[in-house]
A and B are shown apart, each in its own frame.
Chain A
Amino acid sequence: MIEAGKPIFVQIAEQIENDIIDGVIEEETSVPSTNEFAAFHRINPATAGKGVNRLVEDGILYKKRGIGMFVATGARQRLVGARTEQFRANFVGPLLAEAVKLGLTAEQVASMINAESVTDRMASNS
């Protein structure tokens, strides 16, 4: 769960983001408290709090006084938008770089993607 070499608060923030994108945590519902995150992941509560606060700063979560942290309306859509940008940078870019290195044409890359029956997977996903 928690991996070495990457700030833990970033990992906590990403895990909450993933739960929101996957619909595990719905908008306008509460997320676990900092201490619950800390106990579950066996991490320092201050570090867990930093991860949560980062999402508050991004407007993904908001605080209800005395109750806890809630997922903002529209949070999922904004996260999906941001992740799509990251997808392009982190996956499509390197994919093409490697393809160029191997001398593959755009058609070959496209047919490889199709061969992975990605259309089926994507169709069943929506």
Chain B
Amino acid sequence: MNLTDPAVRVTGLTKKFGAFTAINDVSFTVETNKIYGLLGRNGAGKTTLMQLLTGQQFATSGTLEVFGASPLENARVLQSLCFIKETQKYPDSFRPAHVFASAPWFFANWDADFAGRLAEDFRLPLNRPIKKLSRGQLSAVGVIVGLASRAPLTFFDEPYLGLDAVARQIFYDRLLEDYAEHPRTIILSTHLIDEVSNLLEHVLVIDEGRILIDQDADELRGTASTVVGKKTDVDAFVAGRDIIFRDGIGALASVTVTGLGEAERATARAAGLEISPVSLQQLIVQRTTSQPSERDADRRAPGQRGRTGAGNGHSAEGRGDTPADQTESKTDAWSAHS
């Protein structure tokens, strides 16, 4: 294991739960000291992927290296990881103060002062039993551990269920500040894409167990534009282009395409078409709302009820066991989109 190796290197990784393929032949690399966004819809495979990377699940096939070594039963690798998940469990009698007091046993870089300051920022009652904390306060405990551990590779899996807007902003601000002073690799998995998009340096979008987008966040930001205008004009302009999304009403069409240069935008405007930018969130929503496709067929268990399209989370029936990323209660960008 070596901290100068890529934080994560995955080749042909597949994870099956019975007949269900949660991760399907995935390959990617996570470079060190960058903030990654791991984005995707409910059940896309995000949590399963993070469980594989943190040695909490066994891969069905493929290779997986964290800092150049397998994380499985590898104390040196696991010591350099911090995995903050939505459903973290603590011993029954624990109070936040206990969590922070025991954190240095697991995290070599633990900064107790920083944890104390964060607890004040989040107004976390340190001596209240964990069981008595509100959902947001419980999330704050996880967020504080994730930040103050300063682990070389930190995963935040939808870390802020119940956190209010103020607390989320505190989280983003402290994350950026601390990351600037102590660069490390951070993988942030969330549905609140608009909120985090400016924090990310690189974006991984996973959909139906496959990597759909693996790109620099800033490059991705400029890639798509929405062309709006009379349907005939729009159709003429977008002909032969890579169309991501199409919408329309009456004689009006709205089509999102990739790869428009400055000159092409000017041409479109001159033709009376309206060109508008596409936010990272819109782009990802549009790229992941496609109808179930042919390639989806092999992912379903035989006899399992097929998915019925966008917005309708697939059921967990027919799987050997269930990946954790099935909490349908998450507030997510996609339900807001419809």
Contacts and interface: CB of A to CB of B under 8 A. Distances in A.
Given A44-B35, A97-B270, A4 B277 contact: yes
Given A42-B173, A47-B218, A94-B269, A5 B276 contact: yes
A44 B219 contact: no
Interface residues of B, number: 30
A6 interface: yes
Nearest to A5: B277
A7 B222 contact: yes
B199 A44 contact: yes
Contacts of B179: 45
A94 B181 CA distance: 46
A113 interface: no
Interface stretch (A33-41, A103-111, A114-122): A33-41
A72 B311 CA distance: 53
Contacts, number: 68
A112 interface: no
B244 to A, nearest CB: 13
Interface of A is mostly: helix
A2 to B, nearest CB: 6
A80 interface: no
Say which size band chain A's interface belongs to. Answer: 20 to 34
A42 B180 contact: no
A46 interface: yes
Given A41-B198, A42-B198, A9 B176 contact: no
Contact of B280 (A4, A10, A39, A97): A4
A94 B268 CA distance: 12
A83 interface: no
Given A35-B180, A45-B180, A47-B218, A5 B198 contact: no
A92 interface: no
4 nearest A-B residue pairs (beta carbon): A5-B277, A4-B279, A35-B180, A7-B218
